[in-house]
Structure 1
């Protein structure tokens, strides 16, 4: 579920919603920051930030779109890359299992609910942005699967999600500048709505992967027999340590 072995082109074909979200993340980030760096030479970039950032006071005054727009905006390079990388790793399985419409509905719903919780539980002057609430919403769906829908996730992948989720929650409280409310309520929202959206879901391995061009080689589940055997426990450790290293790098980068 979480081992990515696609090419760029096959990833784009198989997971169009994830691809679209990442493109939006990167384009808006570059547009905003290039506008700031060039003192407004690139038009509307600063306005995108000013009108799109989550602002509790403005939301309370009726600017309801700020419950949605922060999901697509990011403050620095580490922020946008970390969230986009998380989507690449953990989004594709759910996009296949839920389908495109249900996936984007879950993503936006959990992100909006996380921002609503931020509105009611933080200061009226609190500003926030980032896709973390929605991404934790996806983790909430996985958490529900681990606990109540073991038919949809095997033990090894359940262990991966459990390790990553524990690390993510711990880092939420350690890393300065994190919207703790959005992370926690995104997670809760994902777990709460999961039963509805997973009702007719099938395990990830039952979904076919569409090739980009005629003649493209699709995934062969027996190809590992031709290579040295790598246990699932090793994969869990590698992914867990890799994610932890990425988190540490992100924390250190914010200290300087």
Structure 2
């Protein structure tokens, strides 16, 4: 579920919502840092509780797509590429984008009400990404038909370490992380109605041939110890990034 073997073309074709979200991250990052009116874009869209209190409610949405540091945008986009595809496949494009936006907005609403008017300006997709992780928590605990044991252990380990790093590293919006996670778990029962396991809906795309359906693709990989080791190494790499880039979040 969390191993990416596709080319850019097949990934874009398989997961269009994630591709668009990552493109928005990168475009806004480049615009804010290198293009004319970038400072205006940042000032207009950044999460700022006092401005929200004065009626600028769009600031509950726009920070989800904005990042100011290179490490920040790379890390959040990488996390979305790793954790998003299985959910986009299971939920479908429409449900996935609704869950992503709702959890991000709920995270920002929690920041507004609990952080107070003096809370520092904030931005980043972390609240929405933790929303996706919250859905995985629900899946692991209550929808074991949607995830295998190896991936359950991997994702729960990553979530646990991510929560620890949330409290250890400074300059992190703790409220957004926590309430994004809670929102994802709370919304999961509704949005997972009718969901199928990732491998059951997986279509294998080749850059030169028509799509081919292989219902045993992921089952075969689950029996391959090398695949499990790869998943563990990717999980370890993500945990390392949590530590190295924590100062930038």
Q: Normalising to structure 2: TM-score of the pair?
A: 0.91
Is the alpha carbon distance of 1:241 and 1:219 closer, same or farther for their aligned partners in structure 2, counting shifts above 3 Å? farther
Aligned partners of 1:199, 1:164: CA distance in 2, in Å?
25
> Cα distance, 1:240 vs. partner?
2.6
Match of 1:163 among 157, 161, 180: 157
Aligned partners of 2:81, 2:217: CA distance in 1, in Å?
24
1:2 aligns with 2:2: yes
Task: Say if 1:159 and 1:236, in contact at 8 Å, map to a contact too.
Answer: no
1:234 aligns with 2:210: no
Aligned partners of 1:218, 1:83: CA distance in 2, in Å?
31
Of stretches 203-212 and 144-153 in structure 1, the one that deviates more from structure 2 is: 203-212
Partner of 2:197: 203
Number of aligned residues: 245
Partner of 2:113: 120
Aligned partners of 1:15, 1:112: CA distance in 2, in Å?
22
Once superposed, what is the RMSD of the aligned Cα atoms? 2.3
User: 1:151 is paired with a residue of what secondary structure?
Assistant: helix
> Cα distance, 1:210 vs. partner?
5.6
Could you list the runs of 4 or more consecutive aligned residues of structure 1 that deviate by over 6 angstroms after TM superposition? 222-225
Aligned partners of 1:103, 1:158: CA distance in 2, in Å?
20
Aligned partners of 1:191, 1:98: CA distance in 2, in Å?
14
Deviations 1:10-36 (A, max 9, x none): 0000000000000000000010011xx
Partner of 1:38: none
Larger radius of gyration: 1
Match of 1:244 among 236, 239, 242: 239
> Cα distance, 1:96 vs. partner?
0.5
Within a 5 Å distance, the mapping from 1:97-136 to structure 2 comes to 97-126=90-119, 127-136=121-130
For structure 2, the 5+ residue unaligned runs are none
Aligned partners of 1:177, 1:30: CA distance in 2, in Å?
22
Q: Normalising to structure 1: TM-score of the pair?
A: 0.89
Partner of 1:39: none
